[in-house]
Amino acid sequence: MKRKRGPGKFNCHQCSFSTKWRGSLLNHIKMKHGLEKFNCHQCSFVTKTQFYLLKHIKVKHGSQKFNCHQCNFSTKWKVSLLNHITIKHGSEKFNCHQCSFVTKAQFYLLKHIKMKHGSQKFNCHQCSFSTKWKVSLLAHIKRKHGSENRKCPQCNFVTKAQNLLSQHMKVKHGSEMFNCHQCNFSTKWKVSLLNHITIKHGSEKFNCHQCSFVTKAQFYLLKHIKVKHDSQKLNCHQCSFSTKWRGSLLHHIKVKHGSEKFNCHQCSFVTKAQIYLLRHIKMKHGSQKFNCHQCSFVTKAQFYLLKHIKVKHDSQKLNCHQCSFSTKWKASLLHHIKVKHGSEKFNCHQCTFSTEWKDSLLPHIKVLHGSEQFTCHHCNFDAKSR
């Protein structure tokens, strides 16, 4: 293991992997090229690191749980229980002295202060990119201005990120498949196989204590409880927007009320969210293309290629257990069950309008009963919807 000449890099002698961190190189060698394996004695799980084996045993076979004494929350991780108690049941609050922001976790307060009131920024010296996070700047420099290109040895795919090259080789050229022994499900991703086995063939069930909802995944139970039974909401202090998801609130504040703008240097596109700028550049000005090996379909986004393969070439379907409806999309199945077989309704208190979708009720109230007006700056056109 030797440093590469130049600004401190560690190179793998068995592949093209390169990093500035010695620990990352050692971990790469162990995971990718190491011979030692750790086997689970209770199932067929195999890994090259003892840490992942211990984590697997705890999650899959461990019986110890940490239960909240104030609600039905349960977890196998003590730190998750402590975080839950602090956020959900804690009385201590942390207030921002520069605005009305309040939280029960000091970590979120510090993050809020840095994002909203912090003046320190990390600027890229090669372009106009700017961020409040040093790790984001380093990732940007490596992705956008890095001199080293990583080329796929089997095709003309080129990228500056090792993880994208690894993902490309696995999806495009990888022959290893993870097959389900109970049905014909097959995937190139081990985590997808584990999720499939849990959802489709697992015997453990998680029941909601407030209704008849049942699922085989604890994640879906927690999500169900939050959406259906949790009354706590996060409100925007600048408008009437309200949500149960902190990520949605932060995104709303940034897009609707934020002053920072991101401009495309190749056209007139402007947005308040950096992720939309990156997506625009990739789709409109990017040269990289993703080809379907089963037909002539070509796209600039890997997401659309995977979606195309699922729609056009994948035969697996999800069936409704109450009728003959069938679809390839889980979201479509859930939508069908709610519309066709669900009983819950959202009613407008100002008229007779009723819907099974909360997202449909809010625009109805805003357009028909709201007082806010949006005026066109070029003519006298007015509307209640932006």
Does a structural domain hold residue 33? yes
What does the pLDDT read at residue 125? 85
Percent of the chain with pLDDT over 70: 90
Long-range contacts of range 223-226, CB-CB < 8 Å, 24 or more positions apart? 225/72
Q: Is the pLDDT of residue 293 over 60?
A: yes
Q: Is the pLDDT of residue 73 over 70?
A: yes
The alpha carbon torsion through 154, 160, 164, 166 (nearest 10 deg) reads: 50
Lowest mean pLDDT among 57-66, 168-177, 204-213, 314-323: 168-177
Does a structural domain hold residue 6? yes
What does the pLDDT read at residue 281? 83
The domain tally of the chain equals 1
Does a structural domain hold residue 30? yes
Does a structural domain hold residue 115? no
The alpha carbon torsion through 46, 47, 51, 55 (nearest 10 deg) reads: -40
What does the pLDDT read at residue 358? 66
Q: Is the pLDDT of residue 139 over 60?
A: yes
Does a structural domain hold residue 323? no
What does the pLDDT read at residue 341? 76
Does a structural domain hold residue 21? yes
DSSP 258: -
Q: Is the pLDDT of residue 274 over 70?
A: yes
Lowest mean pLDDT among 20-29, 83-92, 115-124, 160-169: 160-169
Q: Is the pLDDT of residue 161 over 50?
A: yes
Q: Which of 140, 90, 160 is nearest to 277 (CA)?
A: 140
Q: Is the pLDDT of residue 190 over 80?
A: no
Domain encompassing residue 2: 1-54
What does the pLDDT read at residue 78? 84
